[in-house]
Structure 1
């Protein structure tokens, strides 16, 4: 049992202003495995005040970028040593298989932190240029106090995509973890404290939606960085627009994998666990539409279904498990509702659809439908291990179907001709589109178009959202 009774605010461990607690429930056993304070609006006020003071009068924004990077490097070293513990906590909280937590969840979070810790020397923090009226100095300065609001599916990675660039830029931050996954954030706060950041630079307050909205609306927050549903992202975007507040929104997706006539299905199926069923399909970039040429449609359906039937569903702490449970009973109910809807719409259920024989734990079998792009199961983000295989007549129709979505986050093209695959990828309107692979590269920008969000995270471009340009013209 993980029991914590303090919040990390202003460089120390403090009692919550409220008495409510968040109970963390194992998605495998359905038993309570942890308790932490449920952050209140007053707690958020204290965290924002600490971040505001640290930004306005503290040393952090006034340090040289290399000095900030050195302290981030110290945090990276501490993080590296605690990776096994962090992986176990994430698996216990949200059901990610221990294998993926060990090789994906935690290492990629560490890689993002390390990337930004090493980026400082390559950034043009201040440049000189000849202006039309005289010389101009152009500076890049931190945007201010940042609110980082993250979901439960890849909690450490998504904290890092926001906090690491914010810290390098010289911002201070309030991090609000999801109530489903506060335990990993508490361990991370311990590492921040041990690294020796100045008080108020990093504050971590787990809380629910209402307290999260209080954080978004806080007048002393200069920028909001959010990952989550498109519906919540629209609300956050509207609030930020009212206050002329900066925001970046990494939202939902309904990504398509386009399988061309000459594709090697062995290659595609080899990537299928990562592309479609990662974290039991609870990933915004999950490629849950599979577009197959009409002449190979039955073959593709059967190959995808065969993987779904063979994938090992079960205890996330078993190293042999490929697919763990969904995060909550509420999420399982949602996914099962879509499975029923797909059948009602006339889609053919070719694999899965049940609970895998589990009478405890929030399990849903990897599920495969054969259908078309007009169905709700092909248009709405399910956030579960459910995909639909859709036929197309020719390449132009495949691209049209791939783009026929309110979302535009990820995608992929599978072909024996990589050069041609690049041509097709350029025509698919998404923020990321792999060719014969599906993976996010921490050194390259990630984000979406349309309802998939605003702004980019990762890569050098991920730093831009935490910096403002200042021009200083002079007479010479």
Structure 2
């Protein structure tokens, strides 16, 4: 196999794992092994946390000036970019992400996040004086929370890791990264980049593992904060543990976001935009606008436009730059999606395109991009996160009804509004109960907070708010004499 990692990156070195268990990573398009890593255990997690704690407690990373840490983050960004030719195709092989998206999502954007937080660290004061109401002054200090346990999923493995690593390191924290087993290989390339950038030993540790490793990290007594991206049920379990321990936690969870197509929208440009907003990364995207709300007066033509757009997407090898839709990450994930397709049909929804495995591909976990029409918002396919290339088109009566339907969801992560009138679109966007909304498009903004309402999570990542999450505040009072 091409990508062999027989050891774990802990304490600045590649060390033997506590167990002989091996994690074999299988290619989503080939169904063949592409590499392997050790399968981390709670013992390995303990070793990684202790290494991170030593790196935090001893004079070193947390004692550097913000400018010195920022310089290291800049070198980390450069080392990541230098490995782009390895990382981007590796992630595409692991989880099926089309290479055109992987270059941006797993190389350029993570490097940009490091640079962004490096620049923010250089300008953010760690201490400020405030006049005290009792006389004298109070110095308010920002201090790093300590060891951060970062647990990330397989769909955007490098970027989601860096949304935690970059602000944590900028704040002076140290990190134990627990990547998903499906995308454990790229996490080791990330570790190689960190070492090449000169991160001190123990500042970043990488332990791939399953549920037991995650549970050990969440509950470890030397961890100061947990940052998790993943499913809502797992997020609830993590929140319960962190609540009992009174441990800070950031949770970026599931979504079932609405794309509100207003009556005056240009359907050609809207449908083209929905190709990106609704089907990113083969639908394996938490913020994807998978509920498309269309006005009744234009429902048939909206459904037709969305159907034609989905039908035009090229399904194929994720390493081919011409591919729009690659395979989903695993056989189990495809089976889960196919279960939702069956539920949709049974509920009376109508598939207008897709709904099957592509006939021209006999290997790989592929599914055709699928559009459901005649959907009501109470159907399972309209309420649960499918996490595949499947969208539903739901009719609404007027703008007020569109907002009602958009908000009639357990989730509130993202969404989009499409209109020829930007002011009208923004007025609708303000009424949608969700963490972020795009107008005539959707994209994450590194400089703005990202996170969810309701079952979509707690806290925010990205922007200055993402850095603030890795500080604790101390007030030092000094009276007048």
Scaled by the length of structure 1, the TM-score of the pair is: 0.99
Corresponding residue of 1:395? 399
Residue number in structure 2 paired with 1:59: 60
1:331 aligns with: 333
How far apart are 1:209 and its partner, in Å?
1.3
Asked whether the 8 Å contact 2:131–2:137 carries over to 1, the reply is: yes
CA distance in 1, matches of 2:276, 2:446: 16
Alignment of 1:259 onto 2:226: no
From 403, 409, 428, the counterpart of 1:424: 428
- Report deviation, 1:267: 2.1
Instruction: Report SS of the residue matched to 1:181.
Output: helix
Q: State the partner residue of 1:102.
A: 103
- What is aligned with 2:81? 80
Q: Distance in 1 between matches of 2:224 and 2:274?
A: 40
> Is it true that 1:19 corresponds to 2:20 in the alignment?
yes
Structure 1 regions of 5+ residues with no counterpart? none
The answer as to 2:449 corresponding to 1:445 is yes
Tell me which residue corresponds to 1:302: 304
**CA displacement at 1:66 relative to structure 2:** 0.8
Deviation of the 1:58 alpha carbon: 3.4
Secondary structure (helix, strand or coil) at the match of 2:309 reads helix
CA apart distance, 1:421: 1.0
1:284 and 1:23 mapped to 2: Cα distance?
A: 25
Partners in 1 of 2:399 and 2:148 — Cα distance? 44
Matched, 1:461 2:472: no
SS of 2:289's equivalent in the other structure is coil
CA contact (8 A) 2:355 2:367 kept: yes
Q: Does 1:367 align with 2:370?
A: yes
| Separation of aligned partners in 1, 2:40 and 2:203 | 18
- Residue 355 of structure 1 and its aligned partner are, at CA, apart by 0.5
Deviations 1:125-175 (A, max 9, x none): 110010112211000110111000000000000010000000000001100
1:472 aligned residue: 476
Matches within 5 A, 1:281-320: 281-320=283-322
1:222 to 216, 221, 224: 224
Residue 103 of structure 1: CA displacement? 3.2
* DSSP-derived class of the 1:355 partner: coil
Match of 2:279 among 271, 277, 280: 277
Q: What is the TM-score normalised by the length of structure 2?
A: 0.98
Shift of 1:117: 1.3
What secondary structure is seen at the aligned counterpart in 1 of 2:325?
coil
- Give the alignment of 1:198-217 within 5 angstroms: 198-217=200-219
Per-residue CA deviations over 1:229-272 (Å, capped at 9, x if unaligned) read: 00000000000001111100000000000000101112212222
* Distance in 2 separating the partners of 1:124 and 1:396: 44
What is the SS of the residue equivalent to 1:412? strand
**Superposition deviation, residue 54 in structure 1:** 1.2
Tell me if 1:182 matches 2:184.
Answer: yes
In structure 2, C-alpha distance between the alignment counterparts of 1:18 and 1:282, rounded to whole Å = 31
SS in structure 2 of the partner of residue 34 of structure 1: strand
Superposed counterparts of 1:112-191, under 5 Å: 112-133=113-134, 134-191=136-193
Match of 1:434 in 2: 438
Q: Deviations over 1:201-242 (max 9, x none)?
A: 111111111111111111111100000000000000000001
Pick one of 382, 385, 389 that aligns with 1:381.
385
Structure-1 separation of matches of 2:143 and 2:269: 45
Deviation, 1:444, is 0.8
Tell me, yes or no, if the aligned pair for 2:414 and 2:436 is still in contact at 8 Å: yes
| Aligned positions, number | 476
Aligned equivalent of 2:243: 241
Moved more, 352-361 or 226-235: 352-361
Aligned partners of 1:367 and 1:181: how far apart in 2?
26
Paired with 1:393 and 1:212, the residues of 2 have a C-alpha distance of 45
The whole-number CA distance in structure 2 between the counterparts of 1:109 and 1:254 is: 25
SS in 2 for 1:288: strand
| d(CA) in 2 for partners of 1:240, 1:176 | 17
**8 A contact 2:78–2:111 mirrored in 1:** no
Aligned-residue offset at 1:359: 2.5
CA distance in 2 between partners of 1:310 and 1:197 (Å): 46
Unmatched runs of 5 consecutive residues or more in structure 2: none
- Which whole-Å CA distance do the structure 2 matches of 1:121 and 1:42 have between them? 37
